[in-house]
Structure formats: C-alpha cells, structure tokens
Structure 1
C-alpha cells in the first residue's frame, strides 16, 4: 500500500485509514474484472455484519453443496458536483460512480456444509470491488469470500474458520439488499467490510449469545501491510435476548501503519437493533476509535497522545406492508485529525448526513430502491459546480436480485 500526501481532490480510497501527516495515495483502478464462477464452499453463520445474513447465509441451514448469487445495478445522480464528475466523494466506496448506470456488487457463491465442516467461495465484480479492494493484489480483488471452517466440538457450537470473510464489525455490509438503507452509513464505509485471518466463534445453546475472537492480517487487509509485523486482534460479543433486540460490541486492536510509526489503533463498534420484524424498527450505532500519534509528535499516552474519531448513527424503518418499506437515517462523523478521512481543512472531517429511502419488493428476491441523501460539513470539502461546497446532495436508485 502506497503512502503520500492527499488533499481534497484525492480522498483516501482502499484501506480507509489516513492521517493528515501521513496520507494514502488515491488508488483508482478503472474497468476491469472478468466474472468467473464460484466453487465449493460454505457460509459462516450470521456473524458477518448483522444486516447481511439473508442473502449470504442462504446455504447455512442446508447440508451439501449449494450455489447462490446476487446482482445490484444502480444509478446515482450527484446534484452538487459538476456534470463532468464521474465519482462520488472519496470517503464512499459503494454506489461510487456518478450519473451512469453501473453494477455496485455482483457475486456468485458456492457453499459447502456438513455437520463438522464448512467452507465458502464467492467471486465478485462491480464498482464496490473496484474501489474498496484497489489496494489488494490484482488476483484477490475479485474475492468476496474464501474461507474454510471446522467444528471443534461434537456437542458445542464452536467453530474455527480461516481465510477471507465478510466483516462482523458493524450492522451494515456491501450487500445493499440486506441493509435497511440503499447506501451505506459513513461509519460503515470507513470501517472494515472484509477481514482476513482466523477466528474462533462460539454460539450458546439457547441462541442468545455469540462470542468471537480473531487474529487478523490488519484493518481490512487480505495481505498484511508492508512494514507492519502484526498481527491484529478483534473480538465480538453479541446478545440476542429475544427476536426483537440485538446488542453488539465489536473491537479491533492493531495498526494500519508500519511498525516504524508505532501507531496502535484501538477501535470499538456498538449497535442495537430494535424490533427488526415489527412495523416500526430502529438501529442505533456508535463507532469510536483512536490512533496513537506517530513517533516524534509529542505525548505518547493514550488520550493525550492519540488522534480520536467517532460516529453516531440512527436509522428508523417503517414497514408500510410486506412489500413496501420506508427508512430514514441521521448520522454524524467527526475525524478532526484526518485519521480515516483526510481533508486538509482546518476542522478536518466533521460531517452530518441525512437520508430517506423507499423500498419496493417487486418479488421476494427482487428489490427496487430509491434514496435521497444530503451531507452537511463544517468545512467546504465537496466538489461543487464552480468551487468547493459545504453540502452535497444526491439521489440513488437500485435494482437488486438474489438467487
């Protein structure tokens, strides 16, 4: 992964971790990718980001080899940016292309499961893979999932899985169909969508608790970052007292910098999903993280010597019927020091987001969505028609089919 200095015109793309003093170079890989078929594998239980279970985990309750697929086409119109601008703001990785019909994510997945063994392989294409995996080795950019697992106990639900898997950090995933809003929250776009390493997962017999610990190659890295000896550690504690409430706490401890900078990262993700199957439901989320200041920048104590970023988000969904749903979102992201999102402006990235979306299930496996979204920032950080703007407005539509 290359490092350099970025200002407004070149927001950080892959890896999604940038400091004002030490920023990533924007990596843009234009049209590429052949769509190949998926091989045998299996689905990891619903620990991948919570909202992403209905499509990915179709095969988890079946024994043997199964195949699934997903395709999401979209069109986004950015009202703020110049007509010639082809990309949405750089801190976004889903629905990235502006004013053109494109594919956000499409994958084919083969899944194998038995009583004591499981594995999966999913091959992806789309603009999500193009932008979010730009820092990975070319042959790995098309891998959505590739992992194998073994059940360690005959009587307990205890699994060891290793490979590349979707992230359990956060309540949103890249599979838009399984999220409550068409586009992702800022906190989801700037925390890991995928992880690489090994994890140990235990589910209690009553189904109420999930406990997970993992050893990872880094903060959303398939290959370990050059200069970083690692490994990184991550945990998840999830409690589901009943069908109407899910409480989750996920953590990450490691670094997204070379060892020479001695920048330890500590990150916490909290969320609650309330009444997910009722007429009115809600998600409340909060992320907070810190990177120690690099060598030579002063006090080394945590707090006094750290850069901190945080983000609260609230989503409320109303089910008009089984086929029609409406959801609204309010969010805020504060990254004054540009740890994750670098702007080069006096106040850093301090941005509110508001969105409203309408969902219509044409068929149980075919979903049409439309969403209006606005960002409001402390500083002028968005590309405007004549100069930089403090606000950004967009309209996105999508059609997603799973099979």
Structure 2
C-alpha cells in the first residue's frame, strides 16, 4: 500500500526548477526558500551532483537485514511492504531513472527492482479483472508519467501515468523516511496511483492537487467508477507543514455499490533548530491521523450495523519525534501508532495465507488454502512502536539500525512455524492437519543501508 511527499521538494541551496520534480517558472517558484530536508517523507539532500538542461538522473539503493525474534522457519515477513524475508540480506529496492524536461514538457521515469517490486504489487486485486497481467506489466515501474507545465500563478502541472501516493505521510523511497518499518497508518494505505493529477500552485506556499485515478492503489479499476481525490499542502515556513489527502471510490471487487471514503491528515513541526551547534542541531515531530469507511453492498461504515450490514471503517494515527545532532551526522527517532479496521479491507493479508487477491469464483472472498479472512465484521486492531539510530556520513548515505515491536488483537504475524509449510519450503506437500503459524506480536531488529544520488 502507500505515500510520498516528494512532489514539491524544494530546497534552499539549489534552484528548485533544477532539483525538484515540479517544473516551475524562473520568477515564481513554489515553496522557494523553504527548508524541507528535515521533513519526514522528503528528500534530505540540499544539493545534487547531477546537473542537466533536459535530464536529471536519480539512483536509489535500499539494502536491509532484519531479524525476527519469532524466527519463522520459512524466513517470511508478514504484514510489511518494506520487508520481505527474515535473517537474510535483501536488496529491497533498486531505483533507477530521473526527470526529463523540454521547454514546458515534463516526464518522470523510475524503474524499480528488488523485493518491493513483488511485495507491493501483490496487494492490488485489480489485475483479476480482464486479461493481460497488469501486475507483471507495471511491476518494475515505481513512477512513470508525462505532463505539461503551465506558467500560471506559481505553476500548474498536468501529469498522466503512474505516480506516487501522498496518503500516509511516509515516502515509498525509504531513504526519505525517518523510520524503516512504517506504522500501520502508512503501511496499510496506498503507495501509488494510476491516472491523472493536476498540481496547482495558486500561491507560493500552497499546493492543490486533484486526482482522477483507476482506484485505491490499483493498476486497473475494480468496477465502473474511477477513484477521485485531492491533496492540499500548505507549507508557509521552514518550521511548519500541514497537508490533507482525501479519496472516494468503488474498490471492492465485484461489489459496485460499496463505496470507500478516506481522509489522511498530517502535520510536521520543527520546534528546535541550531544548525551550527556541535550538540543537538534540530528536533522535529510528525503527526498523522486517518479516518475512512466503506458503505453499501453489505456494510454500514461507522454506523453500528446489523449482522447483515456490520460496521466497516478505518481509524489510525502515528507519531514520530526525531533529534539530529553532531552537525546532522547522527539522528535518533522514536514513535509508533495504532490502527483499527473492522472488515479488514485495508489490512495487508499475511503472505502464504492468501494471495491478497479475490477468488475468481467469488470476488468477495480471498484466494488460498488457509485465507486470512477479510469478511464484513471481521475485527482487526493493531499497535506498534519503534526506535532507530541513523549515521549519515554524507547527504547520500544512511546507515540505520531499528528496533520494532508490533502487536495485533488476532493472530497475524509469522510465528516459529512460518506460513508456508512444515519445513518452510513451497515444494513440501502439506499434511492435512498443517496450518500456518500466526501469532499476535512480533519483535524485530532491522539493519539498513540507504543510498541516493
């Protein structure tokens, strides 16, 4: 699922028209002079080694090693889009591409390789509708869009294609985030959209961005109705930023009467800033709160419904505080969040339990021998907390070590017996009495190496 805030990353020390994704006019640059390199979900660099009139390349590498204290026998990580396998060094994400500009024409192409190119697309059920394997077609693209810039106000950009979602605050690219394993709020909401967006900058500090998209993190449409939504970002100073993202669509496969609404809201505050200090340089926090619901087609949203029409909604929040010190070479982050999702319509289905896709013979059910059910009325509540320490020897490289605890009210995370087979291999025949080993909590340590040029 998931989110990114790099659509208007404009830093102080280099021209925004050169370094940002947003083509701007020479005289009116949105967010000009605003420091954003401290913000959660944003590019932390203040300069780039690449310069070009028509093309600015981008390279990102994300390698991780994670140890689960549950120690599942198949090494499978459950309920995460950042991680895939335990106790192994994994190339989570290799991103190659960049931004193209010619006069007012613009395009961005970012290729993706690694475990996330499998983990994230598996959560999209829309390829089951119709032919052509959309999950395979788009799998190795994280962003690919083309557009045009209009010299109106502080700029208007019209883009069509595959672009990042802003819902959930965190960036899809880990090198931009304060924490590695995202809280439930971020990990259970979209990472990408496929459609059309219009970025409107009516003033220097304001962006209004409406969307018409195929659906909620979906390559195609689940029903006849497209998804619609918008982002509004207000960033009036280098110390403060707020944004809201709102979405409406029909995203239950084969149930066109069921409509989804979601509202995502974030605030970022830098409450301390002494860049020349040899001790603490800056301190900041991010706060995100989401609410949403599905209504119709057998569910009743927030309304306390009957057995035939149970409530089905999403409530979540997450909070992180970060402290930089030693000339911003080191940082310490603490935080966590909570989520409740009756109906489980946004819960990441456990790997090995179900394909996370609808059963072709019954779109209201999930596929798999031992499905983690997502029926109306099924309850899911979770909470998490984490802390990490970063060493950033330069603006392109981050070494991170992180401790994470996650808990749910129902068995959900991979236990010692794993979720694949008695010995962890997919080639092993399953005994009639075998069941995946799911438990209610997990603790893990993550080591990550993050690189960006």
List per-residue Cα deviations over 1:292-326 (Å, max 9, x = no partner): 1424x6x6997756511111100000112211000
Partner of 1:363: 394
Q: Deviations over 1:216-238 (max 9, x none)?
A: 0111112223xx11211011111
Shift of 1:383: 2.8
What does residue 85 of structure 1 align with?
A: 74
CA distance in 2, matches of 1:390, 1:187: 18
| Structure number with larger C-alpha Rg | 2
Could you tell me which residue of structure 2 aligns to residue 290 of structure 1? 293
Classify the secondary structure of the residue corresponding to 2:414: coil
In structure 2, do the counterparts of structure 1 residues 60 and 162 end up closer, same or farther at CA, with 3 Å as the change threshold? farther
Tell me the distance in 2 between the aligned counterparts of 1:114 and 1:277. 40
Match of 2:238 among 243, 247, 256: 243
Look up the match of 2:108. Answer: 120
CA distance in 1 between partners of 2:302 and 2:314 (Å): 17
Deviation per residue, 1:191-243 (Å, 9 max, x gap): 1101111111111342x111110100111112223xx1121101111111211
Match of 2:21 among 43, 54, 57: 43
Is 2:211 aligned against 1:214?
yes
Q: Does 1:170 align with 2:168?
A: yes
2:446 pairs with 391, 396, 399, which one?
Answer: 396
Pick from 109, 134, 151 the counterpart of residue 153 of structure 1.
Answer: 151
Distance 1:300 1:99 in 2: 40
Unpaired runs of 5+ in structure 2? 3-19, 24-29, 32-38, 125-133, 274-281, 350-371, 418-436
1:292–1:302 contact (8 Å) kept in structure 2: no
Cα distance change, pair 205–58 in 1 and its aligned pair in 2 (3 A):
farther
- How many angstroms does 1:95 deviate by? 1.7
Identify the residue that residue 335 of structure 1 maps to in structure 2: 341
After TM superposition, the structure 1 = structure 2 runs for residues 237-276 of structure 1, keeping only pairs within 5 Å, are 237-258=232-253, 260-275=255-270
Structure 2 residue 313 is matched with structure 1 residue 313: no
1:383 aligned to 414, 428, 431, which one? 414
Cα offset, 1:362, TM superposition: 2.7
TM-score by length of 2: 0.72
What is the CA distance between 1:189 and its match in structure 2? 1.2
Contact 1:43-1:59 within 8 A present in 2 as well? no
* Aligned residues of 2:40 and 2:178 also touching (Cα < 8 A): no
d(CA) in 1 for partners of 2:138, 2:329: 37
CA deviation string 1:117-160 (max 9, x = no partner): 21011111011111101344312100111101112335541111
Give me the whole-angstrom Cα distance separating, in 1, the residues matched to 2:240 and 2:389: 24
* Residue number in structure 2 paired with 1:372: 403
Q: Spell out, residue by residue over 1:10-52, the C-alpha distance to the aligned partner (whole angstroms, 9 max, x if none).
A: xxxx79xxxxxxxxxxxxxxxxxxxxxxxxxx934799x9714
Counterpart-to-counterpart distance in 2, 1:149 and 1:68: 19
SS at match of 1:98: coil
Q: What is the CA distance between 1:68 and its match in structure 2?
A: 1.4
Q: Which of 195, 201, 221 does residue 199 from structure 2 map onto?
A: 201
Contact kept, 8 Å, 2:391 with 2:398, in 1: the verdict is yes
Give the structure-1-normalised TM-score: 0.80
Asked whether 1:107 is paired with 2:99, we answer no
The separation in 2 between residues aligned to 1:193 and 1:150, in whole angstroms, is 23
Query: 1:140 corresponds to which residue?
Result: 138
2:59 pairs with one of 65, 69, 73:
69
CA 1:58–1:259 in structure 2 vs 1: closer, same or farther (change >3 Å)? farther
- Structure-2 change in CA distance of 1:154 and 1:251 (3 Å): closer
Supply the distance in 2 between the matched residues of 1:247 and 1:400 (Cα, whole angstroms): 27
Alignment partner of 1:94 is 2:82: yes
